[in-house]
Structure 1
């Protein structure tokens, strides 16, 4: 949920649903239309908040959630890596990004409020929350290699670890804690058994997962 300061009703917050992904510095990226009310609000006042929650928990009151209080800043067109990462996570956005009616924004963190359950409620500062992606320089090569040469392994991961039999798979991105795969347009998250930081460690982790998937599928 994206909250902006209403231009139409000054002083009141305006909520809207906006998908996001993270850039390599850990900040959310959102793609919004210049015709949308929330964009007009941002252009008048850049102060926003983005609330995310654990959608897998059936009890919304018990689910972990985070409110990201930020300033919304347009992402320059020459920041090609940020634009490419958003496209990878939302392939259908390519058509939107190619029009003049949509623009990519970065939510620059001011402070965040985390609720993790009873007794786990606190504020987080920038240095406590922002985590740089160690694969900023190598992500495109890793993702391209997996999609071009190891799609069969991605399908095996989906089947063995998520119970999803997919016809079309694509790795979207990788970070220290795991990687994301789009399986027949369904996003799946795979986590590593321990954090990684280099392409060699990523390769080793993928090999371990492939072996584990084969063993699992053999029964």
Structure 2
């Protein structure tokens, strides 16, 4: 049961791309402080955020890195009957130049508008290192989980994620359009594939991000290609 719950929790984390970051208030000790933040997942499957040094939540994290991220299904009519996930985490700022570069390359794919204000303003990348997860899949489906995140095997591999994304976006526009139509998503000529993991892929359509699952988990670029071809032929 916990394996299925972890999978559903991870899929919710993949499907969404914004949540409520709660930190310990520095200005009002003892009170939690909530902020809306966009996120994507790093190569470890942990949330990656880009936050301003002058923001209140950043000052809070600098004083106490313990935090939580609440993610819930977007557009839910009944929030009590749908999935939501709370990640209890330690926030870790990225300072190593190589780590910052890898984070920027990934984050810009998901949020291209962040490229400008990251360069011009005092913004830094932080990862939310999981401590424990609380997943609620609906009424009565309540779980404490120790393991939800799944490392992306294609994140840094030669011939992996970046190469597959370039190939799909440059040579397979019709296949991407088919995935969009097949999933019932809003049609848009600028739809792009921006991320691939072992369980599915992310599409950017306008300002929105959508995650579509593979029929089966993929452990190699070859398996990803087969899954994408099969989905395009449906």
> TM (normalized to structure 2)?
0.85
Match of 1:123 in 2: 144
Shift of 1:100: 4.3
Structure 2 counterparts to residues 39-50 of structure 1, below 5 A: 39-50=58-69
Structure-1 residue corresponding to 2:52 = 33
1:91-130 correspondence to structure 2 within 5 Å: 91-125=112-146, 128-130=147-149
| Contact in 2 for aligned 1:2/1:15 (Cα 8 Å) | yes
Which residue among 216, 220, 223 is the counterpart of 1:198? 220
Runs (4 or more) in structure 1 with deviation over 4 Å come to none
Q: Which runs of 5+ in 1 are unaligned?
A: 213-219
Q: Report which of the two structures shows the higher radius of gyration computed on alpha carbons.
A: 1
Pick 1 or 2: higher relative contact order, CA cutoff 8 A, min separation 6: 2
Shift of 1:4: 0.5
The 1:46/1:163 distance shift into structure 2, 3 A limit, reads closer
1:75-134 deviations in whole A, cap 9, x for unaligned?
Answer: 233212222111111111111222341111000111111112233212111xx2121112
Match of 2:70 among 34, 46, 51: 51
CA contact (8 A) 2:80 2:139 kept: no
TM-score by length of 1: 0.90
Shift of 1:165: 2.0
Gaps of 5+ in 2: 1-19
Of 27, 30, 55, which aligns to 1:11? 30
**Distance in 1 of aligned mates of 2:233 and 2:132:** 42
